Amino acid sequence: MQESKPKRDRTARRLTPEQRNESAKQRLARRVVVDGNGCWIWTGAVTHAGYGRIQMADGTGASRARVAHRVSYELYVGAVPEGLQLDHLCRVRACCNPEHLEPVTAKVNTWRSDLTAARINGTKTHCPRGHEFTDANTYRPPSKPNQRHCRACKHDEARRRRAADKALRAALAADRPSPYVTSAQVAKMAGVLPGTVRAWVRLGHIAPINRGCKPHLFEPNEILAFTAARRASIAIEGDAA
Ligand SMILES: [Zn+2]
Ligand SMILES: [Zn+2]
């Protein structure tokens, strides 16, 4: 898709004459390392989806960003037949080995990818937190019987939420200040706008103790740790600049 709209390229000016004279195969080879499976792993910039990105001159001499594995296939095998996509037989998106690429229809490509994802998930024996997927610990939603959910994690989350609610109710009953802070208080603590706090939650940098409930409440110590770490990393970036 992104290949069909050529863009005026700014990096073209930054290429040295030597780089411009380099053959396309040389440019590709310079950015590739071969791994144990024979994959040509792209070491340069990658797209959001994880495919290699390469600046290539088009027919008019202008340079534009292209997907590296497709460039490789065209260089070593030939044009990709109209309407077909290149499927990575090795399932390594950064791989540019033309022998690992096969032109297939979009339908086949999607079908193969889904199959791989299902196979990978199906072989996992433990949840991301390390609980085993035993029969007793596995919940399969009736509407999606192929999915597996970890019961231990669900219980932990419910317990955490109940404890937070209880602590909050106790604090309110005792007329003490709440042990938790709201989004607005987090913003004040961190010296940022409320929108930034919402972004941190979305990105998983900080987690409300009452996920799924409103308003969000946060553990002040967790916020202090996060803002301290953030300030430290900003200071390091500042030193480097
Ligand atoms: Zn490969
Ligand atoms: Zn779990």
* Backbone Cα Rg of the chain: 26
Tokens of 187: 């913003």
20 vs 13: CA distance, rounded Å: 10
pLDDT at 9 over 80: no
Is there a domain that residue 130 lies in? no
pLDDT score, position 168? 76
Least confident of 46-50, 68-72, 229-233: 229-233
Q: How many domains does the chain have?
A: 2
Is there a domain that residue 20 lies in? yes
pLDDT at 141 over 80: yes
Does residue 7 or residue 161 have the better pLDDT? Answer: 161
Q: How far is the CA of 9 from the centre of ligand 1 (A)?
A: 29
User: Residues 51, 54, 56, CA angle at the centre, nearest 5°?
Assistant: 140
Instruction: Examine the fold and report which residue of 103, 122, 141 is the final residue of a domain before the chain moves on.
Output: 122
Whether residues 73 and 165 share a domain: the answer is no
pLDDT, mean of residues 87-94: 89
Whether residues 105 and 157 share a domain: the answer is no
Instruction: Examine the fold and report which residue of 122, 138, 172 is the final residue of a domain before the chain moves on.
Output: 122
Whether residues 11 and 115 share a domain: the answer is yes
Which residue range(s) make up the domain with 20? 2-122
Q: How far is the CA of 134 from the centre of ligand 1 (A)?
A: 34
Whether residues 118 and 79 share a domain: the answer is yes
pTM comes to 0.45
Axis crossing angle, helix 194-203 with helix 183-190, rounded to the nearest 10: 100
Task: Report which bound ligand comes closest to the CA of 95.
Answer: 1
Q: How far is the CA of 200 from the centre of ligand 2 (A)?
A: 24
Q: How far is the CA of 76 from the centre of ligand 1 (A)?
A: 15
Instruction: Examine the fold and report which residue of 77, 104, 122 is the final residue of a domain before the chain moves on.
Output: 122
Whether residues 162 and 102 share a domain: the answer is no
Whether residues 115 and 194 share a domain: the answer is no
Task: Report which bound ligand comes closest to the CA of 88.
Answer: 1
- Average pLDDT for the chain: 83
Whether residues 167 and 68 share a domain: the answer is no
pLDDT score, position 21? 64
pLDDT score, position 2? 47
Is there a domain that residue 117 lies in? yes
Whether residues 116 and 13 share a domain: the answer is yes
pLDDT at 239 over 60: no
Task: Report which bound ligand comes closest to the CA of 90.
Answer: 1
Which CATH number fits the domain that encloses residue 232?
A: 1.10.1660
46 vs 165: CA distance, rounded Å: 44
- Please enumerate, as own/partner, the contacts of 143-148 that have beta carbons within 8 Å and a separation of 24 or more: 146/118, 148/121
Is there a domain that residue 136 lies in? no
Task: Report which bound ligand comes closest to the CA of 124.
Answer: 2
pLDDT score, position 236? 65
Task: Report which bound ligand comes closest to the CA of 40.
Answer: 1
Task: Report which bound ligand comes closest to the CA of 133.
Answer: 2
pLDDT at 7 over 60: no
Of 163, 175, 172, 179, nearest to 220 (Cα)?
179
Q: How far is the CA of 85 from the centre of ligand 1 (A)?
A: 16
CB distance 177 to 171 below 8 Å: yes
Task: Report which bound ligand comes closest to the CA of 150.
Answer: 2
Q: How far is the CA of 168 from the centre of ligand 2 (A)?
A: 26
At residue 213, the 3 state secondary structure works out as: coil
Which CATH number fits the domain that encloses residue 37?
A: 3.90.75.20
Amino acid sitting at position 34: V
